[in-house]
Amino acid sequence: MAKRESQAPGDSTEQKIFDAAHEVFTQKGMDGATMQEIADHAGINKALLHYYYRTKEKLYESVARAIIGRAIPAIRQIIESELPLEEKIRRFIDAYIGIISRNPFIPLFIISEVNKHPERFINSILPSDLPKPQFFFNQVEAEIAAGRIRPVRPQHLIVNVISMCVFPFVGKPMMRMLLGMSSGEMRVFLEERKEEVTQFVMAALRP
Amino acid sequence: MAKRESQAPGDSTEQKIFDAAHEVFTQKGMDGATMQEIADHAGINKALLHYYYRTKEKLYESVARAIIGRAIPAIRQIIESELPLEEKIRRFIDAYIGIISRNPFIPLFIISEVNKHPERFINSILPSDLPKPQFFFNQVEAEIAAGRIRPVRPQHLIVNVISMCVFPFVGKPMMRMLLGMSSGEMRVFLEERKEEVTQFVMAALRP
DNA sequence: GTCTATAACTCGATAGAC
DNA sequence: GTCTATCGAGTTATAGAC
């Protein structure tokens, strides 16, 4: 967007609207959010939302695209890197949990979006260059063949790792109830998981 | 509900409404669903929804309570059982994945509900007798003390297991894109996970 | 660009006939 | 119990003044 570079970043009206929409949409979803609420959050008038983004749908897509566009490269970069397997998994877990800690509403936002409107997601939000896990798969197979790790199906391995990183955030309130934790205890617990999940995966991969 | 026993089950108007609401709410959530759509699904008039359930909110709570009420005992029963640890984990994974396979929309429904309205969930949907994981935790500690499994923090272990069982269903469309699987391949993959997750956890617990 | 006012529409809920 | 008709609130979106 060349448009945005021509003015002070972060406080243009368009940017204020975008930021407000980002916050409201991620917390309430497309259906739960209203244009009025977004306008209030941005401290401006409702009509201005339409002036800049025409429709609620377009504003939503703009936010969704930005979120996905930020989330995917981070994963991509690690998965497709040339690091040795163990180091790669270590960094992947650390980065993944770190990112989600700083943006706790994003995973559920993405999941809900994809589940409710798969076509819209694929056609107008998802970027074309998805992470290609093939290199990672080959790497796992090679380590297995060399006897350096226990035989696992690489697809399941990657799903296991992602699940253990993401789900505790998505299901945080439920986890809190199950474990009887306060909000503060839960924050500590989630931070601990960087180390705990890494050790768990490494232990599972021992030959 | 004594009311329901007095007539043929499954085709009373009240039951038809409930079933239709169950389907629509689990797929679209409270905000995304409309009373009109539920009425159409039930093949009856919109006014009848209000005749039987008064408000959309009450209909929703009725559905949510039924879903939670069915989901919790299944978990509870296994977690609180007297089975040896390994067998308990085995059965837990098998039961959990089995239940979700047959009700793939439920986990996301529950997660979204809890995240959007934690108070409503706790006060008017959640039953009072939640699973108590303490016995499971003690069991894990005992196995560690006896040197039969590797030291792990039991809270993280249970979160790991639940995450690996639930998340692949919640994030199914995303997993499909990442792994490049067809709908049929994904079904096979999810079924495989019963065995794969069990082995993964057992491997991670080896001393 | 930004605002007020309002049109156009959707949705939950009710009234009232049968 | 079940239906049609309609109300009233709330929502997206636009018109038009400044």
| Domain match, A128 and A43 both | no
Give the CATH number of the domain where residue A4 resides: 1.10.10.60
Tell me whether residue A67 is in a domain.
no
Query: Is B74 an 8 Å CB contact of chain A?
Result: no
Instruction: Give the tokens for residue A61.
Output: 């897509």
Tell me whether residue B79 is in a domain.
yes
Structural domains of chain A, count: 2
| Domain match, A115 and A27 both | no
- Does A157 score more than 50 pLDDT? yes
What pLDDT is stored for residue A63 in this prediction?
A: 97
Whether CB of B46 is under 7 Å from strand C: the answer is yes
Domain that holds residue A158: 72-205
Whether CB of A50 is under 7 Å from strand C: the answer is no
Instruction: Give the tokens for residue A5.
Output: 């570079």
What is the average pLDDT score of chain B?
Answer: 92
pLDDT digits (tens, 9 = 90+) for B37-71: 999 999 999 999 999 999 999 999 999 999 999 98
What is the average pLDDT score of chain A?
Answer: 92
What pLDDT is stored for residue B189 in this prediction?
A: 98
Using CA atoms in the order B113, A116, A172, A191, what is the torsion angle rounded to 10 degrees?
-160
Tell me whether residue A36 is in a domain.
yes
| Burial zone of B128 (CB within 10 Å; 0-12 exposed, 13-18 middle, 19+ buried) | exposed
| Domain match, A188 and A111 both | yes
Our measurement of CA A27 to C1' D15, in angstroms, reads 32
Q: Which spans in chain A are helix H?
A: 2-5, 13-32, 35-42, 46-53, 56-79, 85-102, 106-116, 118-120, 134-145, 154-170, 172-179, 183-205
Give the CATH number of the domain where residue A141 resides: 1.10.357.10
The model carries a pTM of: 0.93
Our measurement of CA B27 to C1' D13, in angstroms, reads 28
| Domain match, A119 and A166 both | yes
Interchain pair A171, B162: CB under 8 A: yes
Q: Which residues contact residue A145 at a Cβ distance below 8 angstroms, ignoring those fewer than 6 apart?
A: none
pLDDT digits (tens, 9 = 90+) for B124-171: 888 888 889 999 999 999 999 999 999 999 999 999 999 999 999 999
Tell me whether residue A140 is in a domain.
yes
pLDDT digits (tens, 9 = 90+) for A84-102: 999 999 999 999 999 999 9
Which residues of chain A are within 8 Å of residue B167 when distances are taken between CB atoms? 159, 162-163, 166-167, 170
Task: Tell me how far apart the alpha carbons of residues B74 and B86 are, in angstroms, rounded to a whole number.
Answer: 18
The per-residue b/e assignment along A143-156, b for 16 or more CB within 10 angstroms, e otherwise, is: bbeeeebbebbbbb
Among A58-62, A70-74, B20-24, B139-143, the range scoring the smallest mean pLDDT is A70-74
Q: Which residues contact residue B170 at a Cβ distance below 8 angstroms, ignoring those fewer than 6 apart?
A: A111, A167, A170, B107, B108, B111
Query: Average pLDDT of A155-182?
Result: 96
| Domain match, A122 and A194 both | yes
